[in-house]
Amino acid sequence: MNLLCINLKLVYNNTYFLAQFSFKKRIQALSMNNIFRNILVVIALCVSFSALAQSDTNIIQSVEEALKASSSRELTKYLHTKVEIKLDDERKEYSINQAEIMLKKFFQQHPAESFEFIHDGDNNSGARIYAIGTYKSASGKHRVVIRAKQYNKVYKVYRLEFTKDR
């Protein structure tokens, strides 16, 4: 009896997850439909693992890339439906569409020369995370603070602060 065996190795945050799927049927007896169905199950498992694998570092890296690019459109992908934005001394809550307009204005006035998060962390339970960085533009430096928490197992930014360095 021949054995069809599929080994799957997933890497997430330098941790390896191994999965082995064995089908103890004669390979000749497996119909093409069964083979494709089994392959689709494996692919679906991989996709679900990657969807669950979104971590706090992923959102921080994604937000960092969006800020480096001065992209309000890209940044809004990581915002919660209601987000509190502080631009210098003005703090207000916005919908995603309103936030994109406000961020676009900010990025037009202060296009990024560079951006880097210099510190990040979380509360003890890991449900809320934050990151602090420096946004540099021709008009000066801004200290940026983001705060995010999990909504339906996905991290979303609920507060974004830009404070001009004096």
CA 74 to chain CA mean position, Å: 11
Residue 36 and residue 75 in one domain: no
- What's residue 136's pLDDT? 96
Task: Indicate the pLDDT class of residue 166, thresholds 50, 70 and 90.
Answer: confident
CATH of the domain at 160: 3.10.450.50
- What's residue 13's pLDDT? 45
CA distances from 1 to 7, 24, 37, 98 (A): 19, 8, 21, 64
Residue 40 and residue 98 in one domain: no
pLDDT of 123 over the 60 cut: yes
- What's residue 115's pLDDT? 95
Residue 65 and residue 86 in one domain: yes
Task: Indicate the pLDDT class of residue 50, thresholds 50, 70 and 90.
Answer: very low
Residue 20 near residue 6, CB atoms below 8 Å: yes
Domain boundary among 33, 52, 71: 52
Residue 9 and residue 79 in one domain: no
Please state which of the ranges 29-43, 57-71, 121-135 shows the lowest mean pLDDT: 29-43
User: What percent of the chain has a predicted confidence (pLDDT) above 90?
Assistant: 55
Q: Of the candidates 10, 166, 146, which has an alpha carbon nearest to the alpha carbon of residue 79?
A: 146
Task: Indicate the pLDDT class of residue 59, thresholds 50, 70 and 90.
Answer: very high
How far apart (Å, rounded) are the C-alpha atoms in residues 23 and 9? 18
- What's residue 11's pLDDT? 52
The larger pLDDT score, comparing residue 94 to residue 32, is at 94
Question: 0.75 exceeded by the pTM?
Answer: no
Q: Domain of residue 10: give its range.
A: 4-52
Please measure the distance between the N-terminal and C-terminal CA atoms of the chain and give it in whole angstroms. 76
- DSSP string for residues in 56-100: HHHHHHHHHHHHHTT-HHHHHTTEEEEEEEEETTEEEEEEHHHHH
Angle CA 85–91–80, to nearest 5: 30
Angle CA 79–56–103, to nearest 5: 25
- What's the pLDDT tens digit per position in 81-90? 999 999 988 9
Residue 119 and residue 156 in one domain: yes
Residue 27 and residue 42 in one domain: yes
- What's residue 53's pLDDT? 43
Q: Of the candidates 139, 155, 144, which has an alpha carbon nearest to the alpha carbon of residue 86?
A: 144
